[in-house]
Amino acid sequence: MPPLSTQHSALSTFRSWWRKIWPAGQAAVPERLLAALPDMVLHIGGDGFLHHMHSPHGYLTMLDGERDIGKHISQLGLPESLAQNLWQRVRQAIQTGEVVQWEYEVQVGEISRRREIRCVALNPEEAVVVIRDVTEREQTLQILHQQSQAQNMLAQISSMLLDAPPAQFKETMAQALLAVGKLYNLDCAVVFEVQDEGETAAVTHIWSAEPERTHAMANNLLYLANIPNSLSHLQAVPPQAYHWLWPNEERLSQLPHLKHVPCTSALIVPIVYRKILVGMLFLGRWRPPLAWNPDTIQQMHFFTDIFVAGLARTRTEQTLRDYATELEDHVAQRTAELRQTNEELQRALRAKDEFLSTMSHELRTPLHAVIGLSQAMKEQIRGPLNERQLHTVGIIEQSGYRLLNLINNIWI
C-alpha cells in the first residue's frame, strides 16, 4: 500500500488531469485521450446521475452511452445489489475524498466477467468511476495457483510412490489418483496396464466419486483397451495423449468404442516405459465438460512418468525379494541335504568302527593261538624237531606276526 502522502499526491494529479480532459458541465470529451484508456470510465454526479461515460471498443458491458446518460445509477439496468453498491461507493468517495476500490462478478449475456472498480471524487459534487476488466488476470492467477498446487501435488505423489513398500503400492496409488481427481475436479481416474506382450489390457487402479458408475464405465474402457486397433493408436511414436469434449466425431472415428464411455470430457494419457507402451491413464468427467489445457496434459504425462518409475521400482524390489526368498529356500534345502548326508556319513563311520573293532577281536584270538603254538613248537616243548621242521615253524611265526601288525594298522 503506497504511503498516505503518495496517495494524496496521486489523487491531486488525477483530479487536475481529469478537469483538463472533462471540465465540469462539458458534454464533449476529448475522445483521443479516453481512447488510450483500456478501462470503462463513468462520470457520476453527487446526486447519483450518470453525466458521461466512455467504453473501450469491444468492452463487454450492460451500459449504453446513448441510452443511459442522464439516468440515475438505480435506473441503469444493473443488478440491484451492484447498483446499490456502486451508489454507496460513489457517496463514500465524495464524502472521504479517498480512492474507493472493490471487485465484483457480473454476468454479461452468457459470459461471466470479473471487474475491478476504482472510485475517486473530483469535487464535493462529482466522482469518476474507472472500471477495469480483470477476468484474464484472475484466470491467469487461478492457472498459476493450480499449477503451484499441481507441482506440490506431483512432488508429494513422487515421494509417495517412489518410497512406498511393494505391499503398499496399490494403496498408495489409490491415494495418488484421489489427489489428482480432487485437484482437477474429476469424476473418475482409471489406470490400465498392458499385458500379454501388448495384446490385452487390464484395470489395475481405479478411483471415482461414484464407484459403481465408474466400474461399469471401466468395463467399457477395458473392452476398448483390448481392441488391437485401439491399442495401436496409443502405441504411436511418439506416444500422444487423446482428449476431447463430448461428443467428438474425430475421436469417435479414431476410437469408435468410446461411444460406450458416458463422459462429457476425458483425457487418455499413454503410460510409456523405455519407449514401450505399458498402460494408459484415463481421466473422465460426466458433469459439465472440463477443458484440458496443455499444462494439465503435461502434468499428467509427468504423473504417468512417476507412476512408471514407482511401478518399476516396486517390481524390481519385489523381484529381488522373490529372488532372496528363493535363494533362502535353496540354501535351506541344501543345508538340510548336507545335514542328512553328514548324518549318514556319521552312521557309516560308526558302522565301520564297530565292524573293525569286531573283526579285530575275531581275528586276533585265533592269530594269537597260531603264534603261541608256533613259538611252543619252535622251543621244542612238545618234542624235538629237525632243521627243516624248525624252518617251517619259523615261517609260520613270522607270517603270524606280519598278519597281526597288519590287523593293528587297520584298526588304528
Q: Are strands 126-133 and 111-123 parallel, antiparallel or unpaired?
A: antiparallel
Integer-rounded Cα Rg, in Å, for the chain is 50
Q: What is the third-level CATH fold of 139-320?
A: Beta-Lactamase (3.30.450)
Domain range list for the chain: 4-133, 139-320, 353-411
Amino acid at 100: V
With vertex at residue 219, the alpha carbon angle to CA 215 and CA 222, rounded to the nearest 5 degrees, is 130
> pLDDT tier at 217 (50, 70, 90 boundaries)?
low
Nearest to 249 by CA among 259, 261, 237: 259
pLDDT winner (highest mean) among 210-219, 220-229, 290-299? 290-299
pLDDT reported for residue 397: 84
Q: What is the pLDDT of residues 302-360, one digit of tens each?
A: 888 888 888 888 888 888 888 999 999 999 999 999 999 999 999 988 888 887 777 77
pLDDT reported for residue 322: 87
Share of the chain above pLDDT 70, in %: 74
- Distances from the Cα of 57 to the Cαs of 37, 38, 40, 67, 300, in angstroms? 10, 9, 10, 17, 39
Q: In angstroms, rounded to a whole number, what is the distance separating the alpha carbons of residues 132 and 142?
A: 18
pLDDT reported for residue 340: 93
Tell me if 4-133 shares its fold with 139-320. yes
Q: In angstroms, rounded to a whole number, what is the distance separating the alpha carbons of residues 237 and 277?
A: 10
By mean pLDDT, which of 122-126, 206-210, 386-390 is the weakest? 206-210
Q: In angstroms, rounded to a whole number, what is the distance separating the alpha carbons of residues 2 and 8?
A: 10
Nearest to 102 by CA among 125, 81, 77, 131: 131
Q: What is the pLDDT of residues 113-168, one digit of tens each?
A: 888 989 998 888 889 888 888 888 888 888 888 888 888 988 898 888 888 888 88
Nearest to 255 by CA among 282, 215, 289: 282
Show the cell assigned to 282: 484415463
Nearest to 62 by CA among 122, 120, 104, 18: 104
pLDDT winner (highest mean) among 4-18, 91-105, 200-214? 91-105
First vs last C-alpha separation in the chain: 108
DSSP letter (8 states) at residue 72: B
Superfamily designation of domain 4-133: PAS domain (3.30.450.20)
The answer to whether residue 409 scores a pLDDT higher than 80 is no
Predicted TM-score (pTM) of the model is 0.55
Mean per-residue pLDDT of the chain: 77
